[in-house]
Amino acid sequence: MGKTLTYKILEKHLTQGSLSAGEPIGIRIDQTLTQDATGTTAFLLFESMGLGRVKTQKSVSYIDHNMSQFGPENHNDHLYLQTVAAKSGAYHSRAGNGICHQVHLERFGEPGKTLLGSDSHTPTGGGIGMLAIGAGGMDVAVAMGGGAFYLTAPKVIGVELVGNLKPWVGSKDIILKLLSILSTKGNVGCVVEYFGDGVKTLSVPQRATVTNMGAELGVTTSVFPSDETTRLFLDAQGRGDSYLALSADPDAEYDRIIKIDLSELEPMAACPSSPDNIKTVSELVGKKVNQVVVGSCTNSSYTDLMMVARTLKGRKLHPMVEFAIAPGSRQVLNMLAENGALADIIASGARILESGCGCCIGQGYSPADGTISVRTFNRNFAGRTGTKGDMAYLVSPETAVAIALKGEFVDPREIGVDYPLVEMPKHFLIDDSMIEQPPSEEDAQNIEVLRGPTIVVPESPQDLCDTINGKVLLKCGDKITTDHIMPAGAFLKYRSNVPEYAKVVFNCFNEEDEPTFADRALNLKAKGVAGIVVAGDSYGQGSSREHAALCPMYLGVRVVIAKTIERIHKANLINFAIVPIEFADPDDYDKIEAHDKLEIISLLDSVRSSDSIKVVNKTKECEIIGKLNLSKRDREVLVSGGLLKYTRNNA
């Protein structure tokens, strides 16, 4: 039987375990990336391990999320990240150089390499044939220190692409179509691998759009083959020596095959407030729109914005639409400025936002109350824009620019404009002056790491005890995202100060004139009572933000009981010694309510060696059986009191 591309790369990087789907494995990591929303914690944890210099082939620290500086917090973090990267032997991409995924694709990514990033959209690198995986900052810190990354050997979903995209249908519509088939849940432990004749019709930026938003499927990662198109892209970036041809064997067998005919796709949209709430744009025609933005790590490439510029050239935006672009990198912005495309965009009435993540995470450009915002982003979770009760739709740049001209949802094929074909450049503008090279180990000894007063070393988890007497602080439903747990937007500037950031844990569920989740949790913690969270399906989907485990841990949360828990968040819970329990019988979810008192006996013994655990609801006088879906290493990490202690003990 032939091998999939996924398993070919895994095989070359395997350090532990057996490559059989469902089995726990460890793999060697070639490259890591961090960004400033997660990087401060990752580097603080890396320093706490006492491992000295990074041991990977390349580690890059990016500043792209928290660019606005209202107060000292963000700039304090920027200076810390700049100096700690130099001290640790990592590259550093300065604020303004661009979004980590876009810049990494342009300047660092290599086919066949493994990439671990403290951002859930790290799979963007799959667009050039990398096995690129998002993870929590603690896992990335371990990888920076030369440690393996542990995961489950995946099932591989093969997506066969045939045909060609028609004019005004974007690569975004491919992943929106796949989301309509697979949804955002139920895909844990899978990798999506693209193959077929349709692959060669897609440019690297188009492929990267698809792998980027593949994160919303809940899969481990997504990957395209590395072919002649990849070679031309790397040549144009001056990195042709990084090219390696890679593909699945012709007789590779997949666990499931989905066939998508590109020629049959039409413009689509993810409707509020989930990336899998998919409709065709033709179903939405006529809905008034007041805000449009093209950007984010999903759709801010040179070709995306050149298409926008050529469509807008000589035209004016609808007067009731506020339209903006956020170029994905300084390279993209410079090239638009040099060839005059930026002037065409500005002349149409558009706003130019920073080359960063900004409005994607609610840091500015929030929509007005009761209005529709159309975005080329990857997530539209409720409130993510920074506006409560928002109505955010996710579309391709082709659909977005058409809507900006008309002021309402319109099928871009019906606007009477010839589709502007944009060719990939033979040579990109190369200027790496805002990427700082790591100094020599000798020179690094003289570097002072700048630690502003708003940067606080995270508290270590408490060791597990054999019996937990706890209280349910919150019972929530399905599809609870890390944005629900830890709001981004204006609060994200507190990410380097856990006691401060923890004040807004589950902020969206707080009732007026009632104690907040944080207040209730700290009150229990002071009394020696464990906090417990109960949830439905797909708990913890979305961002890799480990603060969604770190901050609850600080507040005294010791257990999460849910129907299912998403991969990255489950790993983060384990890393911070919060026990993830899943209902053996999903109907038992109805046997627990908020404020119930729960008792878990023989917790340590169960974590060490059992696949099940008994939870006694003392309030309702009933018993519930939970599942402990844990690998041997997961158990060792929990019993050690979290990954930091485990790593120190095994260094």
Burial of 437 per CB tally in 10 Å (0-12, 13-18, 19+) = exposed
Catalytic residue of the set 119, 173, 483, 588: 119
Do 435 and 33 form a contact (C-beta atoms < 8 A)?
A: no
Beta pairing partners, 368: none
- The terminus-to-terminus CA distance of the chain in angstroms comes to 39
The catalytic residue among 92, 330, 520, 545 is 545
Which of 30, 36, 64, 139 is labelled catalytic? 64
In whole angstroms, give the CA distance from residue 506 to residue 495: 15
User: What is the three-class DSSP state of 554?
Assistant: helix
Task: Report how far residue 582's alpha carbon sits from residue 34's, in angstroms, rounded to the nearest whole number.
Answer: 30
Catalytic residue among 13, 30, 65, 226: 65
363 touches 492 (CB < 8 A): yes
Query: What is the per-residue DSSP string for 354-410?
Result: -SSSGGGGTSS-PPPTT-EEEE-SS--BTTTTSSTT-EEEE--HHHHHHHHHHTB--
Measured distance CA(51)–CA(529) in Å, rounded: 35
Listed in sequence order, the residues at least 6 apart from 490 whose beta carbon sits closer than 8 Å to its beta carbon are 70, 362, 363, 386
* Length of the chain as a residue count: 651
Q: Is 64 a catalytic residue?
A: yes
Q: What residues pair up with 565 in beta bridges, in sequence order?
A: 539
What is the rounded distance in angstroms from the CA atom of residue 540 to the CA atom of residue 221? 17
379 as an active site residue: the answer is yes
CB 335 within 8 A of CB 302: yes
- Decide if 648 is catalytic: no
Chain position carrying tokens 């054999």: 466
Active-site residue flag, 431: no
Q: Any catalytic annotation for residue 226?
A: no
Q: What is the distance between the alpha carbons of residues 307 and 299, in angstroms, rounded to a whole number?
A: 11
Task: Identify the residue whose tokens are 């190369």.
Answer: 430
Active site residue 595: no
Q: With 0-12 CB in 10 A as exposed, 13-18 as middle and 19+ as buried, what is 451? A: middle
> Is the bond preceding residue 296 a cis peptide, omega within 30 degrees?
no
* β-sheet with 24-27: strand ranges across: 14-17, 24-27, 149-152
**Which of 353, 328, 357, 360 lies closest to 483 in space, CA to CA?**
360
Catalytic member of 379, 413, 520, 567:
379
Task: Please report the sign of the dihedral spanned by the C-alpha atoms of residue 555, residue 556, residue 558, residue 559.
Answer: negative
Phi, psi of 405 (to 5 degrees): -75, -35
Catalytic position from the list 88, 183, 543, 544? 543
How far apart (Å, rounded) are the C-alpha atoms in residues 624 and 588?
7
- Positions annotated as catalytic residues are 64-65, 119, 379, 543, 545
